[in-house]
Every structure is written in C-alpha cells, then in structure tokens.
C-alpha cells in the first residue's frame, strides 16, 4: 500500500490558495508603492457624508489622517495575505471583498488627500447609475432562465429611451412616456421571441440584429426629427425625486436609497418581484424547468413555447423601463447611442450574478460604483487622465467576465431552441 | 378478463419508415406486461404515442374499454397513464420535491408554491410503496437508482394506475435492478398495472406476467413467461436464431501488448480514482476488467488512452512507454479505443457517418492529401465499412446522431477495428444494446483477439465479462482485487470480489464489507 490514499488538499486547491495569498501580498505592496509613498505625512483626507439638497440629517464629515490610513489599509491586506498563505481562508468572496475594500479606500484616501471627497454623493449616484445596468441584467435573467438568450437589451433600451422622450414631450405626461417605453420594449422582445422560438433563428444573430436596428433607427429619427432647434419632440423634462418620509432622513443611506425617482424604485421592485416569482411561484418553477430541461417540462404537460414567449416579452418590458431611465429618468432629452453599452454591461452583470435577480442587482451595483467613482475622480482632478477613468466600468466588466471570481453556470438549455 | 389498457391497430409512419405497423397490445389489470424488442423495433415510438408525445396515423387507444383521445401528456395523465422515460426527465439542479410538483403545483394563497404539502405527499408515497427518498435532496446528488425512484414517485403523485417503464434497467447496476423488481411487485400488489419495455431477455422472464414481442414495428407474438426460454425469445426478437454465447477457441496468448505498472490516476475532480494498479494484456488474449461502475475502471481506460494524466506509474505498449502521451500518439502506436461514453468520446453526433468513420486518421492518406480532404476515398471507405459492419442506415451521409444506439456503436466498432490494431480497449462495448448487436460486437472482439491483438474489455455486466474474457481482473475502489483465470471464475466468486470482499478472507472480522 502507498500513502497516496491519505486525504489531503488536492493540488489545484493548494495552487489556488497560494495564488490568492500572493495576489494579496502584491496588492499590499502596490498600495505602498502608489499611494503610501505619495501621501504626505500630516495631511488629512475629508470624506463628505452629506449630500447638498438632501433631506437627510446632517452629520459630521469623516476626516482621516491620509498617510496613516493608507498604511493601515496596506497592513490589512498584507496581514490577510499572510494568513491566507499560512492557513487558508475558506471564502474567496471574503478575501476579494477585503482586497477590493482596502485597495479602493487607500486609493481614495490618496486621491483626495488635502481635499474633500463626497462619499455620500458617490454612493447615491452609484444606485442611480446601476439602474439601467440592473434592468438590462434582469431582462437577461428572466429570458435566459427560460433558455432564450436575449443580447438585444442594448437595442431595446435605445428604442425605448427615444420613444419615452418623444411620447413624454408630445403628451406632456411623463407617465405616458414611461408606459410607452415599457410597451415598445415588450414589442421588440416579442419580435425576438417570435424569430428564435417560432423560426429557430440563431438567438445571438437575432439579438445582434436588434442592437443594430435599434442604433440605426434611433440615430435616423434623432438626426431627422429631434435635432431641430425648436425641441418640440425632444424636451420632456424628468421625473421628480420622490423622498420617502422618515427613511430619507437617515444620513448617507437616506439620500442613496430613499431619495430617487420612480424608475429607480421600480427597478428595486422588479428585483424583488422577479426573485419571488422565480423561486416561489409555479410560473417560476416552470420557467426554471424549461431553462434546464425543456423536454422534462414538456412530458409533464408544461407548454415550453408559451413559457418562453411570455418570459422573453416580460424581459423586453423590463429593458423598456431601463430605456426610459436614460431620457425621462435622468436628462430629459435623447442623444444618439446614449446607452453607451449599458445593455452589454447588464449581460455581464447577469452572468456575474449567476442568473439570479439579487445577484444581477448586486453586480450591477459594482458596475454602478465603478461608473460613479470615475465621475467623482474627474471632479477631484487627480493625476490620472480622464480617458483612463472613463474605462473603469468596462475594465471591471472584463475582469468579471474572465471568471476569476467563481465560474457561473448558465441554465443547462440556455440558447438552445426546443423541438418536440 | 379485464384489460385496463388496449392499443388497437396503431400505425405510425415517419418519413421513409413505418415505426409501428398495425400494432395491437393489451395490458391486464394488476399485471406486468413486458414489451420486448430490439432497439429500433418501435417500442418507444408506441409508448410515446400512448403518452401523447406522438400522434398515431391509425388505430385507437382504449382505457378500461373506453376509447380515449390522447393529444398530449396532459391527456395521458388524466387517463391515469404515467411514463418513466428511459432518459430520466428530471431537472438535475432542482430538488426531488420541485421535480415531482412540476406541472401540477399546489399553491398557498393561490400564488406561492406549497412545497411542504408536496414533500408530505412524497413521504406518504415513499412509505406506501417502499420508495425511500429524501424530498429535499437535489437530483444531481442522487445515484441513478434513486433518480429512477423519483421518476416513479412523479408518476404515482399524478395518481397514475397504468405505469409505462421504458428500458428501466438499462442504466442500473445489478443490485439496483433487483431493487426495482421489488418495487414493481409492491406496485402490482397495490393494484397498479405496468408495461415494461426492454430488450433484456432474462429480466423479462423474471419479472413479467405476459410477454409481447415486437420486431420491425410489428407484433411478432405473445408468449407466457413460463414457456419462454432466452433462446426462444431471442429468436422471436431478432427473427433468426441467435447465439447467446460467443463461440471462441481457447486463447493463444503471446508476448505482452500492454504492461501497466503501479498506476495512479486522479479523476476529473482530482480525487484519487486508480490507486496502484498493475497488470498486463498479452497479444491473443482478452483481459476482462470487472467491477461495479465507479471503481476506477473509467479513469484507468482514460489514462491508458491519454484522456487523463497519469499521476504515478508506467504504461508500456509493446515495450514502449506511453504514459502521458497524447491520444494521437497512442492511437498511432496501434491502440483502438471503444469508449464508454460513445456519444461524448466516440462520435461527433452532428457529423455524417462518413466523417465519423475516419476521425482517427483524417489527416493521413488516403483521406487527406496535404491539407485537402479526399471525398472519394472518404465515401468509399464509409460505404465499405457500413456494408462490412452491418450498420443499419439509409445512407452514409446522415448524421450519426440520428442512428439508434446499436448502430452508433457499430460505427465506432467499424472505425476502431478497421485500423491496424495491437491493442483493443473496449469499455462497456454493449451497454444499452440489443441481443442482435451484442452478438455481433462480441464476435468482432473475439475475431480481433484471434487475429493476434491484445484485448482489454471493461464491463459492469458479469455475463459479458464471462462470455469474452480469458483472464478476469476485478476492480474495487481503484485497486485490482484479484486477477484470475476465466475458466476458474464463477459469478458468485466475482460478485464477492466486486463488493470488495476477498473470499479467502471472509472469516477476517476486520474486513470492511460494503454491499
């Protein structure tokens, strides 16, 4: 007998443990190299915790000694890295969370040294910026849970954004604009569903076609009808901020969560509702079964095609809501290609969120964070070119999609047409 | 005598074939009817018609004497007909409860799934019929035998009293088969009636009350199990006399073709699977590797054929080391491999037959000249092999995926055996195949042995091991328990070895017994 039967950590686990540990140590060193060395002793960094114009109770700002804080963050990362090398930490999520927190906090402390950085402002714009991403992601979740890939969210959102502003301007009623945006999203998704379910057109090809069509038709309409100086079609105004009584008074969290417009609230509502429907109702059970093993569902009398049509169309309605965000939910006018890839980032959020509504929401927040951070840093005028800062959300997308942070498994039948 | 179910004159045509031709069968109340036939005889089509997945062109279905119209599975369920499919219709990432309730979900407040109610009902059914299962286990964590129980529970949950089981034993180990037969007896005692589709002769005689044989879409006849013999049934099924035992001359073993020395292999999840295995296969003999599925046989074959890395130990082919060589090198040295998972490793299902027949040598003359494939040579090679190996197909241009399991396997056999072979490794070469195909494939394997190749056959069917082998190695938990002469081996002795018990040590109280 040999001793290889003795249970021990497999080679790949061991390798992973060392890799994560070394990564943490390297990041700790980078924190020292970039931020620690360049932070002057005795200088303070101010993190603003109040948002101008907000109803939240005022609290004192967070003022920290810059250099000490950076070194503390470095020490935290190095300590966790050493612990990981020596003993190993079970949860990779925890490791990466600590890593990201320490790095970003050190970075902000350095960037804002001797200046003030409005933390409350950044957090509150994080949720707003995450809204269209989350809605695109939710559109993907509900479609793909029934095994239909819909990469057309970008195109749907562009069309809906335009329809929202035009209808809103013409009727002088933003709710009419919102309804129109949602409905047109459903119509475009129905077209996608019809092509891929009835005619079994390749789902990616159909999705790409929708994106190209969306970009083309909205650009055409925009340049032909919306750019004229009078603005009779492209000037809708935006939804007002709705403050939720009492809750909006909470410092930091209040302005972030409870002082938003209707699109943001609806997004949160959709997240919760979709989670309940998917996991606690017959419709959700059937949807998941159709996404995993349509034949099994079929043999139990579940109508596979019906489930897919309805879910894809619901996805379209949700993406339509996401489109409305861009115009009547934020700036009140339509500009060409204003969705700027948010629909695709939404797909990344869906994958990173493992096809779960809350997962998709959380990863959208990550992208929203990268986006709002980028904006705030530009205001600080730090010594990084703004072009690089603009890349932040997309770089985060790429890192996420490499699958470093846990591989996500899609529904088993995802993308496959069903034949009886 | 009451018939709970009758099919009268069912005819179903597919483009180019008549799958069922005026088929009439009858199921007696509280009895087990075995529907026996080769693969492709039309058994499954018939049952799919009964279950509403296909619509018959002619004929009618009577449930308890009344003609019924079955348009879709819902109609079948309403008429008390339930089906356990050959390929389980279970969602792996869902729980037992979720799978059972799918399609007929009870709700709380009319909106929310009532999982607790279903779980209670599953426990009741478990107790009533002796179908032990945890309602909240995930399907993917359950062994195949238990998954089948879930399928049966699914049917019972829908209050079916006519159960159709399509090839229920194809995926089970011998122990699980015994368990299934016990369950079927309980079901009968509780008043259910069962149609049991199979091509395995012994099971039919063991379990059925009535036997109806189908061949080429037609009913050949019915027979009482008491009057049936395996030979009789095989003849009815295939339409000619079948040799159930392979004729073979004593082996003429020569020098070693394959020498394996203290081999260690980890499986795809990095767990140790093969743990110190040594053996040799000589030219002109068949070494049978027996064992219950999952005792390292799969990984052993993968390591020999270059599909998994060797952790420790040596493999020599004709004196040359081949461990951790890539699959092409190994194939070019003269190893033919009939893989266990024929659809994953043996064929490209979406490729036509002619391309599948040259997958190992596509880059060489005569199939390729430089970078250009030679269609003429590819087609004539395919025509020749299809003819020679009796692959039943409309032509050589259809996708392999459209063939029946037996014919898919024949395509693999044709490709692997038509190359010059020093060593043939055949893993589960006849799993899921009918007697006609089994007879044929066994003959080909013995022929290869007689031509002087070394042969290693891995199988979990003891009958197959005993029929083919000259020497038998039994694997248990990644090790070889014993290598013995096939002439001296008995089923009982092998069975003990397969369960990890060394017969000479059974008196030893410290021996771990895992049954």
**pLDDT at residue number A376:** 83
Question: d(Cα B425, Cα B252) in Å, to the nearest integer?
Answer: 18
Q: Which of A7, A276, A280, A285 to mutate to test the interface with B (most CBs of B within 10 A)?
A: A285
Taking contacts as CB-CB distances below 8 angstroms, the residues of chain B near A355 are: none
Say what percent of chain A tops pLDDT 90.
52
Is residue B507's pLDDT more than 50? no
Task: Report how far residue B277's alpha carbon sits from residue B54's, in angstroms, rounded to the nearest whole number.
Answer: 50
Nearest to B361 by CA among B426, B415, B325: B415
CB < 8 Å to A282, chain B = 105, 107, 113
Structure ipTM: 0.85
Distance of CA B102 to the CA centre of its chain: 28
Chain A residues touching residue B79 (CB < 8 angstroms): none
CB contacts < 8 A (A, B)? 79
B275 contacts A300? CB cut-off 8 A: no
CA closest to A295 among chain B residues? B89
Is B309 in the A-facing interface, judged by CB distances under 8 Å? no
Q: List the single residue in A with minimal CA-CA distance to B108.
A: A281
The closest CB to that of A285, out of B90, B98, B264, belongs to B98
* pLDDT at residue B515, rounded to an integer: 39
Task: Determine the residue among B79, B81, B89, B265 to mutate to test chain A binding: the one whose Cβ has the most chain A Cβ atoms within 10 Å.
Answer: B89
Chain B neighbors of A412, CB-CB under 8 A: 92-93
- Domain A121-401 grouped into CATH 1.20.1070: no
| CA-based nearest distance A68→chain B, Å | 45
CATH of B243-334+422-433+452-515, one of 3.40.50.300, 3.40.50.720, 1.10.10.60, 3.40.50.150: 3.40.50.300
Q: Are A329 and A182 in contact (CB under 8 A)?
A: no
- Locate the chain B residue with the closest alpha carbon to A284: B113
Q: How far A268 CA lies from chain B's nearest CA (Å)?
A: 21
* Cβ of residue B276 closer than 8 Å to a chain A Cβ: yes
**Pairing mode, if any, of strands B286-290 and B454-458?**
parallel
Q: Are the beta carbons of A285 and B72 separated by less than 8 Å? A: no
> What DSSP line would sit under B315-360, residue for residue?
EEETTEE-TT--HHHHHHTTEEEE-SSIIIII--TTSBHHHHTTTT
Q: Which of A64-78, A176-190, B271-285, B380-394 has the highest mean pLDDT?
A: A176-190
CATH 3.40.50.300 is held by the domain B3-238: yes
Q: Which of B77, B276, B312 sits opposite A301 (nearest CB)?
A: B77
Q: Do B276 and A1 touch (CB under 8 A)?
A: yes
Q: What pLDDT band is residue B445 in, cutting at 50, 70 and 90?
A: very high
Are A5 and B98 inside 8 Å of each other by CB? no
- Residue intervals of chain A classified under CATH 1.10.3470 are 121-401
A292 reaches B (C-beta below 8 A): yes
Mean pLDDT along residues A229-237 = 79
> Is pLDDT at A248 greater than 80 in this prediction?
yes
Q: Which residues of B touch A5 (CB under 8 A)?
A: 272, 275
CB-based contact, A60 to chain B, within 8 Å: no
Instruction: Mark which residues 401-420 of A lie under 8 Å from B by CB.
Output: 412, 420
pLDDT tens profile B337-348: 999 888 888 999
CA–CA separation, A71 and A35 (whole Å): 9
**pLDDT (0 to 100) of residue A3:** 41
Cβ separation of B72 and A300 shorter than 8 Å? no
Residue A53 CB neighbours (<10 A)? 7
Residues 226-255, chain A: which have Cβ within 8 Å of B? none
Cβ contact, residue pair B107, A297, below 8 Å: no
pLDDT recorded at residue B511: 42
Write the CA distances from A347 to A142, A203, B36, B122, integer angstroms: 12, 14, 50, 39
What is the predicted pLDDT for the residue at B193?
Answer: 95
How far apart are the CA of B111 and the nearest CA of chain A, in angstroms? Answer: 6
- Each residue's pLDDT tens digit, B149-200: 999 999 999 999 999 998 888 777 667 788 899 999 999 999 999 999 988 8
A347 and B CB contact within 8 Å: no
Return the HEC string of A308-372: HHHHHHHHHHHHHHHHHHHHHHHHCCCCCCCCCCHHHHHHHHHHHCCCCHHHHHHHHHHHHHHHH
Do B107 and A11 make contact, defined as CB atoms within 8 angstroms? no
Query: Taking CB atoms and an 8 Å limit, are A300 and B90 in contact across chains?
Result: no
Q: Is A11 on the interface with B (CB under 8 A)?
A: yes
Verify whether the Cβ–Cβ distance A302 to B85 is below 8 Å. Answer: no
A interface test, pick of B45, B93, B110 with most A CB neighbours within 10 Å: B93
For A274-317, the pLDDT digits (tens) are: 999 999 999 999 999 999 999 999 999 899 999 999 999 999 99
Check residue B59 and give its pLDDT.
92
Question: Which residues from chain B sit within 8 angstroms of residue A301, using beta carbons?
Answer: 72-74, 77, 103
Instruction: Decide if B512 touches A, using CB distance below 8 A.
Output: no
Structure tokens at B22: 């005026």
Q: What is the pLDDT of residue B503?
A: 72
User: Please, which residues have CB within 8 angstroms of residue A88's CB and are 6 or more apart in sequence?
Assistant: A17
B90 touches chain A (CB under 8 A): yes
Q: Are B102 and A300 an interchain contact pair (Cβ–Cβ within 8 Å)?
A: yes
The pLDDT-based confidence of B35 (bands split at 50, 70, 90) is very high
DSSP characters for B104-159?
A: S--EETTTEE-HHHHHHHHHHHHHHHT----TTSBGGGS-HHHHHHHHHHHHHHTT
Is some CB atom of chain B closer than 8 A to the CB atom of A354?
no
Question: Which pLDDT score is estimated for A264?
Answer: 95
* Peptide bond connecting B271 to the previous residue in cis, omega within 30 degrees of 0: no
| For the ranges A135-144, B205-214, B382-391, the one whose mean pLDDT is highest | A135-144
What pLDDT, on the 0 to 100 scale, is given for residue A307?
A: 97
* Nearest-by-Cβ selection for B73 from A13, A282, A299: A299
Q: Which residue of A has its CA nearest to B48?
A: A299
Q: Does B78 touch chain A (CB under 8 A)?
A: no
Local confidence band at B116 (pLDDT 50, 70, 90 cut-offs):
very high
Q: Does B332 score more than 60 pLDDT?
A: yes
Give me the pLDDT at residue A236, please. 87
Kindly tell me if the per-residue pLDDT of A91 is higher than 50.
Answer: yes
Of B349 and A398, more confident: B349
- The tens digit of pLDDT for each residue in B41-75 reads 888 889 889 998 889 999 999 999 899 999 988 89
Cβ contact A298–B102 (<8 Å)? no
- Looking at the complex, report in whole angstroms how far the Cα of residue B156 sits from the nearest Cα belonging to chain A: 13
The pLDDT of residue A328 is above 90: yes
pLDDT averaged over every residue in chain A: 89
* pLDDT surpassing 70 at residue A1: no
- B89–A5 CB contact, under 8 Å: no
Contacts of B101 in chain A (CB under 8 A): 285
Q: Does B272 touch chain A (CB under 8 A)?
A: yes
Contact criterion met (CB < 8 Å) for B102 and A292? no
Identify the DSSP state of A97. Answer: H
More confident call, B88 vs A286: A286
Query: Using the beta-carbon criterion (under 8 Å), do A280 and B113 form an inter-chain contact?
Result: yes
Chain A residues with CB-CB distance to B272 below 8 A: 4-5
Using alpha carbons only, how large is chain B's radius of gyration in Å? 25
Across the interface, whether the CB atoms of B113 and A292 are under 8 A apart is answered no
Please report, rounded to a whole number, the percentage of residues in chain B having pLDDT higher than 70: 97
Q: CA torsion B37→B39→B41→B46, rounded to 10°?
A: 90
pLDDT digits (tens, 9 = 90+) for A4-43: 433 445 666 777 788 888 888 998 999 998 888 888 888 8
Q: Does A202 touch chain B (CB under 8 A)?
A: no
Q: Where are the domains of chain B?
A: 3-238, 243-334+422-433+452-515, 342-419
For residue A238 the two structure tokens come to 């935006």
Residues of chain A contacting residue B112, judged by C-beta atoms under 8 Å apart: 280-281
Subunit contact A297:B266, Cβ cutoff 8 A: no
Phi first, then psi, for residue B75 (nearest 5°) are: -65, -40
Which residue of chain B is at minimal alpha-carbon distance from A11?
A: B270
């Amino acid at each position: 007998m040999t001793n290889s039967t003795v249970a021990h950590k497999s080679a790949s686990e061991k390798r992973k443990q060392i890799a994560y540990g070394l990564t943490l140590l390297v990041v700790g060193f980078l924190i020292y190299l970039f931020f620690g060395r360049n932070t002057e002793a005795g200088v303070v960094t101010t993190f603003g915790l109040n948002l101008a114009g907000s109803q939240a109770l005022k609290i004192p700002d967070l003022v920290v000694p810059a250099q000490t804080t950076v070194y503390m963050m470095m020490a935290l990362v190095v300590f966790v890295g050493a612990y990981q090398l020596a003993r190993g930490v079970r949860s990779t999520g925890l490791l990466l969370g600590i890593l990201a927190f320490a790095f970003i906090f050190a970075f902000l402390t350095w960037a804002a040294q001797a200046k003030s950085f409005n933390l409350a402002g950044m957090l509150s714009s994080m949720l707003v910026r995450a809204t269209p991403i989350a809605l695109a992601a939710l559109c993907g979740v509900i479609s793909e849970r029934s095994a239909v890939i819909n990469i057309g969210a970008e195109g749907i959102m562009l069309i809906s954004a335009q329809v929202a502003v035009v209808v809103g301007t013409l009727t002088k009623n933003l709710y009419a604009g919102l309804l129109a945006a949602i409905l047109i999203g459903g119509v475009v998704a129905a077209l996608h569903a019809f092509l891929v379910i009835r005619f079994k057109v390749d789902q990616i090809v159909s999705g790409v076609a929708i994106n190209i069509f969306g970009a083309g038709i909205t650009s055409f309409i925009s340049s032909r009808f919306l750019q004229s100086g009078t603005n009779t079609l492209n000037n809708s105004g935006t939804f007002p901020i709705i403050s939720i009584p009492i809750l909006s008074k909470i410092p930091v969290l209040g302005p972030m969560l409870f002082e938003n417009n209707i699109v943001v609230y609806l997004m949160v509502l959709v997240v919760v509702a979709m989670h309940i429907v998917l996991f606690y109702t017959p419709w959700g059970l059937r949807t998941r079964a159709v996404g995993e093993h349509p034949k099994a569902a079929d043999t139990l009398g579940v109508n596979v095609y019906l489930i897919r049509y309805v879910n894809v169309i619901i996805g379209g309605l949700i993406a339509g809501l996401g489109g409305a965000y861009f115009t009547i939910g934020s700036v009140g006018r339509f500009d060409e290609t204003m969705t700027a890839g948010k629909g695709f980032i939404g797909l990344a959020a869906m994958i990173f969120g493992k096809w779960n509504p809350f997962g998709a929401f959380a990863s959208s927040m990550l992208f929203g964070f990268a986006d709002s951070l980028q904006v705030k840093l530009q205001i600080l005028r730090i010594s990084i070119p703004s072009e690089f800062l603009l890349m932040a959300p997309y770089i985060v997308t790429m890192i996420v999609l490499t699958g470093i942070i846990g591989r996500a498994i899609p529904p088993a039948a995802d993308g496959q047409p069903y034949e009886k | 005598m009451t018939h709970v179910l009758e099919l009268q004159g069912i005819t179903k045509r597919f483009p180019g074939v008549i799958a069922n031709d005026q088929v009439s069968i009858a199921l007696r109340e509280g009895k087990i009817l075995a529907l026996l036939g080769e693969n492709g005889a039309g058994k499954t089509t018939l049952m799919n018609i009964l279950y509403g997945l296909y619509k018959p062109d002619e004929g009618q279905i009577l449930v308890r004497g009344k003609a019924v119209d079955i348009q879709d599975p819902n109609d079948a369920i309403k008429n008390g007909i339930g089906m356990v499919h050959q390929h389980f219709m279970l969602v792996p990432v869902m729980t037992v409860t979720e799978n059972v309730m799918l399609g007929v979900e009870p709700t709380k407040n009319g909106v929310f799934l009532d999982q607790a109610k279903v779980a209670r009902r599953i426990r009741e059914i478990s107790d009533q019929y002796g179908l032990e299962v945890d309602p909240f286990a995930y399907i993917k964590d359950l062994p195949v035998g238990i998954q089948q129980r879930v399928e049966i529970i699914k049917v019972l949950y829908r209050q079916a009293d006519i159960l159709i089981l399509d090839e229920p034993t194809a995926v089970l180990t011998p122990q699980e088969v015994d368990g299934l037969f016990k369950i079927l007896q309980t079901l009968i005692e509780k008043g259910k009636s069962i149609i049991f589709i199979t091509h395995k002769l012994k099971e039919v005689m063991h379990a059925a009350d009535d036997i109806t044989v189908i061949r080429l879409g037609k009913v050949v006849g019915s027979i009482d199990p008491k009057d049936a013999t395996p030979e009789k049934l095989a003849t009815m099924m295939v339409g000619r006399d079948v040799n159930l035992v392979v004729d073979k001359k004593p082996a003429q073993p020569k020098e070693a073709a394959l020498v394996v020395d203290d081999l260690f292999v980890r499986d795809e999840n990095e767990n140790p699977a093969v743990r110190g295995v040594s053996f040799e296969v000589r030219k002109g003999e068949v070494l049978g590797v027996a064992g219950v599925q999952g005792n390292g046989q799969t990984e052993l074959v993968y390591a020999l054929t270059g599909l998994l890395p060797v952790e420790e130990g040596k493999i020599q082919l004709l004196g040359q080391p081949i461990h951790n060589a890539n699959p092409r090198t190994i194939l070019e040295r003269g190893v033919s491999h009939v893989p266990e998972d024929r659809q994953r490793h043996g064929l490209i299902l979406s490729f036509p037959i002619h391309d599948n027949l040259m997958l190992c040598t596509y880059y060489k003359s005569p199939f390729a000249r430089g970078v250009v494939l030679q269609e003429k040579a590819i087609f004539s090679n395919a025509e020749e092999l299809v003819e020679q190996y009796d692959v039943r197909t409309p032509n050589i241009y259809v996708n392999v995926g459209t063939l029946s399991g037996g014919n898919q396997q024949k395509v693999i056999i044709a490709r692997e055996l038509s190359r010059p072979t020093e060593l043939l490794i055949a893993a589960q070469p006849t799993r899921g195949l009918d007697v006609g195909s089994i007879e044929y494939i066994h003959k080909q394997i013995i022929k290869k042995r007689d031509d002087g190749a070394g042969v290693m056959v891995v199988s979990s069917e003891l009958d197959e091991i005993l029929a083919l082998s000259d020497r038998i190695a039994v694997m248990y938990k990644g090790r070889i328990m014993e290598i013995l002469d096939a002439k001296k081996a008995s089923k009982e002795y092998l069975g003990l070895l397969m369960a990890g018990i060394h017969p000479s040590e059974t008196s030893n109280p410290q021996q771990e017994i895992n049954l």
